[in-house]
Amino acid sequence: MPLMFEFELLATDAGTGARAGIFHTPHGPIPTPVFAPVGTQATVKALRPRDLHELGATLILSNTYHLYLRPGDDLVAEMGGLHPFMGWDGPILTDSGGFQVFSLSDTRAVDDDGVTFKSHLDGSRHRFTAERSIAIQENLGADIIMAFDECPPPTDRAYVAQSLRRTHAWAARSLAAQTRRDQALFGIVQGGVFRDLREESAAYLTALNFPGYAIGGLAVGETKAQMHQVLEWMNPVLPAAKPRYLMGVGAPEDLVNGVLRGVDIFDCVLPTRIARNGAALVPGGRINLRNAQYSRDPAPLLAECACYACAHFSRAYIRHLVQANEILAHILLTTHNVHFLLNLMGNLRQAILDGAAADFAATFLAHYPAPEQAAPEQATKESL
Amino acid sequence: MPLMFEFELLATDAGTGARAGIFHTPHGPIPTPVFAPVGTQATVKALRPRDLHELGATLILSNTYHLYLRPGDDLVAEMGGLHPFMGWDGPILTDSGGFQVFSLSDTRAVDDDGVTFKSHLDGSRHRFTAERSIAIQENLGADIIMAFDECPPPTDRAYVAQSLRRTHAWAARSLAAQTRRDQALFGIVQGGVFRDLREESAAYLTALNFPGYAIGGLAVGETKAQMHQVLEWMNPVLPAAKPRYLMGVGAPEDLVNGVLRGVDIFDCVLPTRIARNGAALVPGGRINLRNAQYSRDPAPLLAECACYACAHFSRAYIRHLVQANEILAHILLTTHNVHFLLNLMGNLRQAILDGAAADFAATFLAHYPAPEQAAPEQATKESL
């Protein structure tokens, strides 16, 4: 692995598993822990690249499945790759397409070699294998790319165990298929909610020496307590010197709980998706501007917030925009929600560097209900 | 009329009727000639106020009919008026609601006192009179407000003549109803395509001494040649010291032709509406990004354009966004189209100040077909 992907671990909190670092990529440094807004179709919905920079985004995710189908990874490659195509010069991460094939495509057939599926756009037939996924991701040209994997139902032990063999074989094939040296290929730990399978998966993938590791198969139906448990199992067995990425998680309390358990990278459609449903993140949850109680409310979405939406507009105005189905509603709510998460992560990172991670987390999490029963946010269908 | 509405006429072109000036308002100066982007529902679709400032917008229009129905002019007043409500600190113009009542509401009954109509939102019954329109516009608090008028079919002489009596009575009643002195109330000349009626209307309204005059009832079905003819009749009979406003016109060639005939102010939904249909303004017409020919086109929308969209993105990328129905498509195309018109007006104004209006217009209009048969753009249903 070239030096351009060095992971500088600046601090590990003594009392918790929280880490602060910098992951260096060809398109710049990513201060960690980091939340990556999702640009499914090569655009973070309702934001321009300059807005993302202004909000402090240092990493965005885009989806291989969607871009393969439209506009096509060959077209993106012809335009110089995702960075110039979408006008974003910072770091990008692409997923492998595996998760979307299983969650979005109309029908699919999995075998040990790959997955055959039908496009959700036009029903056309396609096939992904580990090699195909890597070739597509090399065409897209992100800084961080993902091994092809299967994301099984997390509590079905028999299926999870069988699927794990396949995921491991695909991980090795993904690594072997890689030809570009300017992309960091991360392995994905699976194993559902089962400690032995998770530890087996971590050990197998660690032996392959990936430059980073994702924890997959969470936020897909298990409880929050189960998610925390899996992260606690993973923290001591994943190599400390490599970044860890918890896929598809973005609820504020889940970010904090993930960081406390050693996670460095997160992504989720949550801030952009709930914006389009009229909701704004606030400490302890969210408010929905469709609610009539905000119709004459002169307050900003969140009093202490420094984002453009909160600095200039009232809840009454944003509610009017929501009711009138105006594009500006999406723009302002997305701006606020992305700011909320990036600001949270920035403050949490500073607290880790200051040795105050536990206090910061306790104060923040006091706004939220205990995680015993709640299921993590599932937010996989951004673009449908 | 208070001094805050002074109209400084800086130059009148010797060879044409083109004028350059500054119309001073309580929310700042409007350099004329000016194009006002339309924010029907208290937002110029897909743009934030800071984007409008950056694009050089100095006047925006909002619609009384829409805001009266939703969120309600009383609510806007409670929030301090349109300027703080929508976060735009520059000049605003509101129309009277008359045109929308006739073009958008489901059913209506006109009598000499006013118009009864049903809301296009929920079918509820409402009534506008001159007094009601002014009261609503005073609640909204724009810098420039409009007299209540009827906009008849322009070529039906009998109806236009009868309607003109009504419009004149409503103009006088609008003026009498005005209580705020920090809003400039413009009269609206009607009379269809008939010279004697237009001149009668201009004379009647001029005698009432409005601070500005709109030329109404155009861009509603007559030919471009007829529109030019009406403007040529109006140029010598409207007072030179007052601004003239051609309502609902915004095609690039119509703006230039209007300025050549003495018009100072224009508004139209054209740049924002065609953006949402996937179209970008270019000299001589427009290109539609839905067209497959742009799918691998690395060029910007317009090579010589300095807007954010053209500086950073290819036609191929914007076409992808259009095909994927992404909000960023609307944002980028709206940015480009509004820039195109504001840049055109800025260059035309400079040409007038330089004594080169005729040359500038001839060069620009050479890209466009002759106006003999074409009908002006009709773009009244922005929000439906």
CA A191 from centroid of its chain's CA atoms = 19
| Local structure of residue A3 (DSSP, 8 states) | G
A368 to chain B, any CB pair closer than 8 A? The answer is no
A328/B43 Cβ within 8 A: yes
A323 to chain B, any CB pair closer than 8 A? The answer is yes
Degrees, nearest 5: CA angle B156-B161-B166: 120
- Smallest Cβ–Cβ distance between B323 and the set A43, A70, A316 belongs to A70
- With pLDDT > 90 as the criterion, what percentage of chain B qualifies? 90
Write out chain A residues lying below 8 Å of B308, CB-based.
48, 50
Q: What is the CATH number of domain A3-268?
A: 3.20.20.105
Catalytic residue among A95, A149, A254, A264: A95
Predicted local confidence at residue B376, as pLDDT: 55
Whether B67 shows a pLDDT value over 50: the answer reads: yes
- pLDDT tens, B341-359? 999 999 999 999 999 999 9
B71/A316 Cβ within 8 A: yes
d(CA A228, CA A219): 11
- pLDDT tens, B170-189? 999 999 999 999 999 999 99
User: Partners of A93 in the beta sheet?
Assistant: A61, A144
A316/B79 Cβ within 8 A: yes
Taking CA atoms, B14 is separated from A369, B257, B262, B364, in Å, by 74, 16, 12, 19
> Taking Cα atoms as reference points, which of A200, A216, A364 lies closest to residue A281?
A364
- pLDDT tens, B187-199? 999 999 999 999 9
Predicted local confidence at residue A2, as pLDDT: 53
Whether B270 shows a pLDDT value over 60: the answer reads: yes
Reported confidence tier of residue B371, pLDDT bands at 50, 70, 90: confident
Predicted local confidence at residue B103, as pLDDT: 83
Q: What is the CATH number of domain B3-269?
A: 3.20.20.105
Predicted local confidence at residue B102, as pLDDT: 83
Predicted local confidence at residue B384, as pLDDT: 34
Residues of chain A with pLDDT under 50: 379-384
- pLDDT tens, A211-262? 999 999 999 889 999 999 999 999 999 999 999 999 999 999 999 999 999 9
Give residues 283 to 322 of B whose Cβ lies within 8 Å of A. Answer: 295-296, 298, 308, 312-314, 316-317, 319-321
Cβ partners under 8 Å of residue B223, min gap 6:
B371, B372, B373, B374, B375
- Smallest Cβ–Cβ distance between B79 and the set A48, A314, A331 belongs to A314
B327/A331 Cβ within 8 A: yes
Q: Are strands B244-246 and B213-215 parallel, antiparallel or unpaired?
A: parallel
State yes or no: is A267 an active-site residue. yes
Residue of A nearest to B313 (CA): A87
- With pLDDT > 70 as the criterion, what percentage of chain B qualifies? 96
Q: Write the Ramachandran bin of B274: left for phi over 0, alpha for psi from -120 to 50, otherwise beta.
A: alpha
Distance from CA of B114 to the nearest CA of A (A): 27
By residue count, chain A amounts to 384
Average pLDDT, stretch B108-137? 95
- pLDDT tens, B124-169? 999 999 999 999 999 999 999 999 999 888 999 999 999 999 999 9
Reported confidence tier of residue B374, pLDDT bands at 50, 70, 90: low
d(CA A227, CA B281): 51
Predicted local confidence at residue A380, as pLDDT: 43
Q: Note the pTM of the prediction, 2 decimals.
A: 0.96
By residue count, chain B amounts to 384
Reported confidence tier of residue B372, pLDDT bands at 50, 70, 90: low
Write out chain B residues lying below 8 Å of A326, CB-based.
41, 43, 45
Domain ranges (residues) in chain B: 3-269, 275-365
Predicted local confidence at residue B119, as pLDDT: 93
CA A45 from centroid of its chain's CA atoms = 15
